[in-house]
Amino acid sequence: MERTLFEAEHEELRSSFRAWLDKEVVPRKEEWETAGIVPREVFADAGRHGFLGMAIPEEYGGGGVEDFRYNLVIGEEIQAAGAGAAGLGITLHNDICLPYFLRYCTDEQKARWLPGIASGELITAIAMTEPGIGSDLASMSTTARRDGDVYIVNGSKTFITNGINSDLVITAVKTDPKQRHKGMTLLVLERGMPGFERGRNLEKIGQHAQDTAELFFHDVAVPAANLLGAEGQGFTQLVANLPQERLSIAAAGVAAARAALYWTLEYVKERTAFGQPIGSFQNSRFVLAELATEVEIGQAFIDRCVLGLNAGRLSVEEAAMAKWWCTELQKRAVDRCLQLFGGYGYMLEYPISRAYLDARITTIYGGTTEIMKEIVGRSLGL
């Protein structure tokens, strides 16, 4: 199905970014998976090529264009190149963390942080989840007590993407532990602050090159100048930014499903059984016909949501719909495609096997499928 979402400049970015992936990422992704982390210089190289901070104003070194279609192109090409497991963290940096800095930073904070975010010298992360809580953010126990010109932060976070590499960590804390949602505040913790410690790089069943870490805060003195927005506004800020985060995850889900479909079509045309290509069997045709249809349906909704986001009209409920349905599609697609690879699908030398492992987390992070359905259900008045 022809897509009418993109202009010539988006396709120019697609070509240049894919060329960069093929040269700098694809040949090294297995090395990074073994190491469990991507070298920091990869972010700097992406920044030099203009692939970071497209929405950052030009005066701070960014692209000066707030258009999520550019983000979409980057996310799609990462999946198409089979680099979803490469652990780049670029979509987290561009799609999820950057909006907080653009929307809530003071002029002083923008001057201090945005140039480094655009260049890749300052890698970003966001820390919400704690060891004892998942989706119930209001129950967090990490605290920040105001003491003159600093906040004293104590607590811990877990499952933090870019947790090892990050220089700027948007951290959700309780400045008023007696309150639930109204007691939450966002602070930016910086690499090197005394008492801010990284735990181990967590071992996962998939996305092995993505550094995912525990973070520990022991009497960390965070300057009040690192407050994002106002005290007690943290939950409101998170809610305002979650639709873009969930759309980013959903878009990656459809792109991953499309990549799996492509790899499988190539394979079933070449692999033979009983004297004929396995793609010629009715079951193979039906499975791939169903997945091709679902990918197009998912893509149409994603494209509509992207236009809605650009126009400031993407609702929390629409983003939740996209997130749960498209990530469930991703999980279903890679599973059914792997089946058509037979025993070879179980071998890590084939990208479908890595895609299978990487897909499992997508219905969990950014809000579980169950929470997404709860959001949609409540919007129906139920």
Judged against a pLDDT cut of 80, whether residue 4 lies above it is answered with yes
On whether both 132 and 88 belong to a single domain, the answer is no
Whole-number pLDDT of residue 137: 81
Domain C-terminal end among 75, 94, 122: 122
Is the predicted pLDDT of residue 139 greater than 90, yes or no? no
Write out the DSSP string of 150-209: EEEEEEEEEEEETTTT-SEEEEEEES-TT-SGGGEEEEEEETT-TTEEEEEE---SS-TT
Question: Are 248 and 335 members of one domain?
Answer: yes
Annotation marks residue 296 as catalytic: no
- Shared domain for 108 and 139, answered yes or no, is no
Q: How far is CA 252 from CA 59, 82, 293, in A?
A: 30, 12, 17
Q: What is the pLDDT of residues 149-200, one digit of tens each?
A: 999 999 999 999 999 999 999 999 999 999 999 999 999 999 999 999 999 9
Whole-number Cα distances in Å, 3 to 6, 7, 12, 126, 173:
7, 10, 16, 33, 42
| Residues 370 and 272 grouped into a single domain | yes
**Which of 190, 212, 232 corresponds to the end of one domain?**
232
* Pairwise CA distance, residues 87 & 164, whole Å: 12
In a domain, 2, yes or no: no
In a domain, 373, yes or no: yes
Q: Supply the CATH number for residue 158's domain.
A: 2.40.110.10
Tell me the three state secondary structure of residue 145. strand
Q: Select the more confidently predicted residue: 2 or 171.
A: 171
pLDDT tens, position by position, 90-116? 999 999 999 999 999 999 999 999 999
Average pLDDT over residues 16-43: 95
In a domain, 1, yes or no: no
Within this chain, do residues 35 and 151 fall inside the same structural domain, yes or no? Answer: no
Which of 122, 152, 182 lies at the terminal end of a domain, its last residue?
122
With respect to residue 210, please indicate whether it lies within any of the assigned structural domains. Answer: yes
109 closest CA partner among 204, 52, 190 = 190
Note whether 151 and 191 are same-domain residues: yes
Q: Find the domain containing 258 and state its range.
A: 235-379
- Nearest CA to 278 out of 293, 290, 266 is that of 266
Work out the mean pLDDT of the chain and round it to a whole number.
Answer: 96
Q: Is 340 inside any structural domain?
A: yes
List 222's β-bridge partners, or say none: 151
Residues 257 and 370 in one domain: yes
Residues 202 and 272 in one domain: no
Give a yes or no: residue 3 inside a domain.
no
My answer on whether 44 and 165 are in the same domain is no
Q: Does residue 336 fall inside a structural domain? A: yes
Are residues 374 and 248 located together in one domain of the fold?
A: yes
Spacing of C-alpha 137 from chain mean position = 19
Bridge pairing between strands 124-127 and 168-174: parallel
- Establish if 275 belongs to a structural domain: yes
Domain total of the chain: 3
Grade residue 85 by pLDDT with cuts at 50, 70 and 90. low
Q: What is the pLDDT of residue 87?
A: 63
Considering the domain architecture, whether residues 186 and 248 belong to the same structural domain is answered as no
Are 135 and 205 in a shared domain? yes
Domain at 86, CATH number: 1.10.540.10
Question: Residue 252 is part of a domain; what is its CATH number?
Answer: 1.20.140.10
Which residue in 77, 130, 214, 245 is the catalytic one? 245
